[in-house]
Chain A
Amino acid sequence: DTGVSQDPRHKITKRGQNVTFRCDPISEHNRLYWYRQTLGQGPEFLTYFQNEAQLEKSRLLSDRFSAERPKGSFSTLEIQRTEQGDSAMYLCASSNGVHTEAFFGQGTRLTVV
């Protein structure tokens, strides 16, 4: 296993377009987390899944954001009608239990122009 994989690594989109990111966690990990990181800041929690169930969503996750983990394996994060304020690094992490080490992917850098 090569770790947590995110695709694409970079995405440039025009304001108002929809974008979708994918995260493939470490295969035996049942927990998957999404974070957003803006320049000069620490990552901020967006949402997490235990298997296919989405158990918590941050208030940061507006109605334009949706995440899925349909079979408890990979996850997608979709942003509809992107805004310039959505420009950030989107990080995915997975773990095999609560309070165990979370392994992070390299992130998807979104730029909205």
Chain B
Amino acid sequence: AQSVTQLDSQVPVFEEAPVELRCNYSSSVSVYLFWYVQYPNQGLQLLLKYLSGSTLVKGINGFEAEFNKSQTSFHLRKPSVHISDTAEYFCAVSVYNQGGKLIFGQGTELSVKP
């Protein structure tokens, strides 16, 4: 079975500071990796995804993530955060040949303080 672990439930950070949200996954088969953002009382919005190719992927709003197969990690980074980045962030995997359903981590609450 596949699983996703987000290592930090809450990450407080000051505005304009860099941030890293950590994600590790477990799977015995190939997976595709995603990061979603959820603002209060909203659905989820895709930030970025890794399907194949370059292990460094860039997404919207200045976020990027690096796929590390040996460490089974897909950490999300942003060099300088804004107040508007305050939200819940979810890492997810989709297993090859399983219909595209997503398996989510527990989420990381990013709180950007002025």
Residues of A within 8 A of B (CB): 4, 31, 33, 35, 40-45, 48, 50, 55-56, 91, 93, 95, 97-107, 109
Contact = CB atoms under 8 A, between A and B. Distances in A.
Interface in B75-114: 90, 92, 94, 96, 98-107
B45 interface: yes
B53 interface: no
A42 B107 CA distance: 6
Nearest to B92: A42
Interface of B: 4, 32, 36, 41-46, 49, 51, 90, 92, 94, 96, 98-107
Given A42-B105, A44-B104, A55 B99 contact: yes
Given A91-B44, A104-B44, A105-B43, A99 B94 contact: yes
A4 B106 CA distance: 23
A91 B43 contact: yes
Contact of B46 (A33, A35, A98, A102): A102
Contacts of B98: 56
9 shortest interchain CB distances as A-B pairs: A42-B104, A104-B43, A98-B100, A104-B44, A106-B43, A45-B101, A99-B32, A101-B46, A43-B104
